[in-house]
C-alpha cells in the first residue's frame, strides 16, 4: 500500500479557497474514483469534489465551516499502486447449455405475499431526527416535534410527505394540546450556503440605499392569453406560468431604462450597464436561497424562457447547477409563488441595483368605468439602489412593466 495525498483542486476561475460544508467520507472508508468526497462552498457556488483515485481514507483535513485553500492537503489515501481503477476483468466463457429437464406435473402457482412497506418508528428522545432544513422549518412553524414523526426515507429520514401525513392525522393538534413543555435547543452552524446568504444580504442592506416601490397589475388579459397558449401548446412545449411572461416583459422594459440592468462596483466607483439581460431567479432549496440565472433572456422567446426557468431552478434544487448557472445575473426576480402575500420589500441581490418581486394573482373586486367588476390582480413590489437609480426612474420601470403585463400583446412587439 502507498500513501496518496489528495489536494484541493482548482474548482473555478478566480476561486482561491473553499469552505467545507459536508464530508461524504471519513477515515476508514473505501472510495472509488469519481465518488464525491466533500461538499465545498466557494465564492460562487457549492461544489462536490470527486475522488481521483481508488483507495482507503486514512485522514481528512478540516471540519465543516473551515476554509481550505486551493492546492492544500485535503485527504490522505492508502492506495494500491497509483490508485488507478483496476481494468475490467475478462468475461468468463458461457457454460454449455444443459439438457432441458423432463416436464413435471403441473402444480398450482404459489402467490407470494408482498412484504409490508417498512416505516421507521419515531426516533427515541435521545437522538436527533433525520430531516432536511426545509422540513425542520415547516415543523417548527406547525408546532410539530419531529421526534414524534415516523420517517419513510432512508435511515428513517423524514420527508415533506411524512410531515404532511402526521399533520393531517391530527399530530399537530396533539403536539400543541399535550401541554408538554419543550426545552430542547438545536445548534445550527452558519456555514456554507447559509453563511454566503448572510454575507450577501448584510452587504446589500448595509451598503445599498434601498428604496421600494409597490404597484398592482391587472393580469386578466395575461391570464386569458396564458390559458389559450397552454391549451394549444404542443407536447414538446412547457406549460406556461406567469413568470416567463414577466421575464420577457422586464426585458422589454429594460430597453427604456438600461440603468436598472446594471452592476455597481463600489471599489472602482463604476456602474456597468449591461446590454445582455441575465435574469436571476430567486429559488428556495432545501439548503437555502439560491439564484440560478437565465442567461441572455433578451435572445429567447416566452417558450424558451419557460424551458430555461424549469431547467435552472431544477438544477439548483437538485444541487447540480454549475458555477456559470449560479453567477452573472444583472437583475433579479423573486417570487413567493402561490403563497404570494400582498407585498414585500425585497433586498437587492448585491452587486445588482434592482430587484422585482411578484406576488400571487387573485380575483379582486375593482372599479372599471364606474362599475364594480371582478378582475385578476397581482401585486408587484420592487427595490432599487438609490445611489444609482433615482426613485422616479425606478417607478417608471415598474409602470412600463405594468403596462405590458396589462396589455400582453405588447410583450411580443
Q: How many CB atoms lie under 10 A from the CB of residue 45?
A: 23
Distances (CA, A) of 146 to 2, 78, 113, 157, 158: 46, 40, 32, 10, 8
**Active site residues per annotation:** 386, 390
Which of 92, 161, 145, 155 is CA-nearest to residue 119? Answer: 155
Quick one: how many helices (H) and strands (E) in the chain? 8, 19
Query: DSSP per residue over 69-88, as a string?
Result: ETTSEEEEEEESTT-PPPPP
Task: Give dist(CA 400, CA 392) in Å, integer.
Answer: 12
> Which residue carries 441572455 as its cell?
296
Task: Give dist(CA 240, CA 232) in Å, integer.
Answer: 11
- Edge-first strand order for the sheet with 73-79 is 2-7, 73-79, 55-60, 30-31
Q: Encode burial over 51-75: b for 16+ CB neighbours within 10 A, e otherwise.
A: bbbbbbbbebbbeeeeebeeeeebb
Which of 212, 213, 211, 226 is CA-nearest to residue 405? Answer: 226
Q: How far apart are the first and last CA of the chain?
A: 69
Q: Is residue 130 helix, strand or coil?
A: coil
Task: Give dist(CA 67, CA 136) in Å, integer.
Answer: 27
Task: Give dist(CA 332, CA 349) in Å, integer.
Answer: 7
Task: Give dist(CA 381, CA 136) in Å, integer.
Answer: 29
Which of 135, 407, 377, 387 is CA-nearest to residue 253? Answer: 407
Amino acid at each position: 500500500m502507498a500513501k496518496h495525498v489528495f489536494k484541493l483542486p482548482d474548482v473555478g476561475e478566480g476561486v482561491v479557497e473553499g469552505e467545507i460544508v459536508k464530508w461524504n467520507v471519513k477515515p476508514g472508508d473505501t472510495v472509488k474514483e469519481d465518488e464525491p468526497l466533500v461538499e465545498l462552498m466557494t465564492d460562487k457556488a457549492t461544489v462536490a469534489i470527486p475522488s481521483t483515485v481508488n483507495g482507503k481514507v486514512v485522514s481528512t483535513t478540516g471540519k465543516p465551516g473551515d476554509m481550505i485553500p486551493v492546492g492544500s492537503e485535503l485527504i490522505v489515501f492508502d492506495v494500491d499502486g497509483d490508485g488507478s481503477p483496476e481494468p475490467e476483468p475478462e468475461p468468463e466463457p458461457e457454460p454449455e447449455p444443459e439438457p432441458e429437464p423432463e416436464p413435471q406435473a403441473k402444480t398450482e402457482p404459489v402467490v407470494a405475499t408482498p412484504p409490508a412497506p417498512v416505516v421507521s418508528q419515531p426516533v427515541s428522545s435521545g437522538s436527533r431526527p433525520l430531516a432536511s432544513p426545509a422540513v425542520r422549518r415547516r415543523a417548527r412553524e406547525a408546532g410539530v416535534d419531529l421526534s414524534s414523526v415516523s420517517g419513510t426515507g432512508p435511515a428513517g429520514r423524514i420527508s415533506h410527505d411524512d410531515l404532511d401525513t402526521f399533520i393531517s392525522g391530527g399530530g399537530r393538534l396533539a403536539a400543541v394540546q399535550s401541554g408538554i413543555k419543550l426545552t430542547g435547543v438545536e445548534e445550527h452552524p452558519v456555514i456554507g450556503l447559509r453563511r454566503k446568504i448572510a454575507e450577501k444580504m448584510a452587504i446589500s442592506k448595509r451598503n445599498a440605499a434601498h428604496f421600494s416601490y409597490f404597484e398592482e397589475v391587472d393580469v386578466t388579459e395575461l391570464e386569458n392569453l396564458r390559458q389559450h397558449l397552454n391549451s394549444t401548446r404542443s407536447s414538446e412545449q412547457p406549460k406556461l406560468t406567469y413568470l416567463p411572461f414577466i421575464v420577457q416583459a422586464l426585458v422589454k422594459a429594460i430597453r427604456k431604462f438600461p440603468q436598472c440592468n446594471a452592476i455597481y462596483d463600489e471599489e472602482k466607483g463604476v456602474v456597468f450597464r449591461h446590454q445582455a439581460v441575465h435574469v436571476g431567479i430567486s429559488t428556495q432549496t432545501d439548503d437555502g436561497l439560491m439564484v440560478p440565472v437565465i442567461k441572455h433572456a433578451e435572445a429567447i422567446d416566452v417558450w424558451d424562457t419557460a424551458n430555461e426557468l424549469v431547467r435552472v431552478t431544477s438544477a439548483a434544487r437538485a444541487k447540480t447547477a454549475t458555477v456559470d448557472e449560479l453567477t452573472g445575473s444583472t437583475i433579479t426576480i423573486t417570487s413567493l409563488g402561490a403563497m404570494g402575500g400582498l407585498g414585500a420589500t425585497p433586498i437587492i441581490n448585491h452587486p445588482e441595483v434592482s430587484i422585482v418581486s411578484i406576488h400571487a394573482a387573485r380575483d379582486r373586486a375593482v372599479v372599471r368605468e364606474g362599475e364594480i367588476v371582478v378582475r385578476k390582480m397581482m401585486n408587484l413590489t420592487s427595490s432599487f439602489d438609490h445611489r444609482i437609480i433615482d426613485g422616479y426612474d425606478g417607478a417608471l420601470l415598474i409602470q412600463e412593466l405594468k403596462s405590458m403585463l396589462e396589455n400582453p400583446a405588447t410583450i411580443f412587439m
